[in-house]
Amino acid sequence: MPLRLLCLVLLALLACAPGGFAPGSRQRLDTRGSLEAEAAKLERARNSRSGRVDTRIELGTVYYLLARDALDGQADEGRYLAYLEKSVEEFVTAVELDPRHEEPHFYLAVMDTYRGDLRGALRGFNNVKRLNPSPIAYTNIAEIYVYRGRPDRAREWNRLGLRKGAPYGPVIFNDMLIAWKEGDIGEARRRFRQLERSDPDMLRTINVARLPRTPRSFEEFAGYCCGSPACGPYMKQRCIDLALPVQEREISEETLLKELRLEIEAKRRMRKVYEQRKELEIEIEVPE
């Protein structure tokens, strides 16, 4: 299943990513209620056939979107942590069931991006590429380099993806981000208009979460990015240049500590899997 790219805000299971990298094409879910209903349906499916990796990945994705809604939409840290724990559990179990499946690594890298761990996200997207060296894996890595402030490396990986056959949508999206990161608003607007004509759905997602509507201008897209904790902090200076407020992720020290504990346990379990599958050359770094 091909992975689209990585962009960023809320509500839908789908395949894409401006600030939402995402795999395959999944059903769109447009409200909190539909997400909860989908989670209940997938829980029943998981419980009736617990060995189905795809079911666990879909359920983990829905839990992640519910976690994002709880924190970004409701500022409910308890509910956020509950859904985050469920999401991580599904993805790690999927790895244990099928160590060769790239999608759990993809979503865990998306989570790292949202949490501000770009080093972990880059490692995760490189693992995705090792397990499935598809053209889109290269454009996902390119997007991470934009957020890390390395437009030169982002351009290099984007071109690699294009040469290997990546769809034009993710490539143009990254070109738009690169131009914006470099302060070339004219080029960013031109790339936005290209994307608007050729693949407007690419503009509807940030970090696997659905925007309320398709942006009608580059400035509107930038407003959504700057207003998302999964995008704005990485484009902070460029948001300031456009006089757009930047939304940081606001959580307590206690919640940060619980996130770290979840991450340590997840990485510990995954390292155990790949220590027995060294031929896959997957890198798992457990935080100290």
pLDDT per residue, tens digit, the chain (288 aa), is 344 444 432 323 333 333 445 443 344 445 678 899 999 999 999 999 767 999 999 999 999 999 999 998 899 999 999 999 999 999 999 999 999 999 999 999 999 999 999 999 999 999 999 999 999 999 999 999 999 999 999 999 999 999 999 999 999 999 999 999 999 999 999 999 999 999 998 998 887 778 888 999 999 999 999 999 989 999 999 999 999 999 999 999 999 999 999 999 999 999 999 999 999 999 999 886
Per residue, the 3-state secondary structure of the chain, as one string, reads: CCECCCECCCCCCCCCCCECCCECCCCCCCCHHHHHHHHHHHHHHHHHCCCCHHHHHHHHHHHHHHHHHHHHHCCCHHHHHHHHHHHHHHHHHHHHHCCCCCHHHHHHHHHHHHHCCHHHHHHHHHHHHHHCCCHHHHHHHHHHHHHCCCHHHHHHHHHHHHHCCCCHHHHHHHHHHHHHHCCCHHHHHHHHHHHHHHCHHHHHEECCEECCCCCCCHHHHHHHHHCCCCCHHHHHHHHHHCCCCCCCCCCCHHHHHHHHHHHHHHHHHHHHHHHCCHHHCCCCCCCC
CATH number of 32-168+205-212+253-280: 1.25.40.10
pLDDT of residue 32: 74
Domain boundaries, the chain: 32-168+205-212+253-280
pTM of the full structure: 0.88
